[in-house]
Amino acid sequence: MTTNKFKTVSLDSMIDKHIGKPGTEKREAFENELRIDLLGQAIKQARQERNMTQEELGELVGVQKAQISKIENSVKNARFETIMKVFEALGAKVNFNVELNNKKLAY
């Protein structure tokens, strides 16, 4: 009889252990970076669903292909205005939720 030496753990517990518990500075930085990466992936996915190249999207937005590539791979250094123009060019609807003290702010 063989025994399994590996223990199954949840992704949340692994993140808690190796990055930090929710609310810690390291965990907040990790989650913010994850959100930024997801935004870039959303832009790339929307562009691909529209069968557009980075160059074509750049022309619509008024930026070079390299800028679109940077936005898709790391939104950190992109201007908010440029990101909004990208979504507009893609015909994508963007919604924001702003919360303060667990309460949604009116917008």
Query: What confidence score (pLDDT) does residue 76 get?
Result: 73
**Separation in Å, CA 33 to CA 9, 68, 105:** 24, 18, 23
- pLDDT by residue, tens only, the chain of 107 residues: 666 788 888 888 889 888 989 889 998 888 888 888 888 899 999 999 999 999 999 999 999 999 999 889 877 777 888 888 999 999 988 887 778 888 888 65
Distance separating alpha carbons of residues 52 and 79, to the nearest angstrom: 21
Q: What is the pTM of this model?
A: 0.71
Distance separating alpha carbons of residues 107 and 61, to the nearest angstrom: 26
Query: What confidence score (pLDDT) does residue 88 get?
Result: 92
**Separation in Å, CA 89 to CA 37, 65, 80:** 20, 14, 14
3-state secondary structure of 51: coil
- Give me the residue spans of the domains in the chain: 21-104
* Multiple choice CATH, 21-104, 3.40.50.150, 3.10.129.10, 1.10.357.10, 1.10.260.40: 1.10.260.40
Q: What token pair was written down for 61?
A: 């937005």
Query: What confidence score (pLDDT) does residue 35 get?
Result: 82
Distance separating alpha carbons of residues 67 and 58, to the nearest angstrom: 7
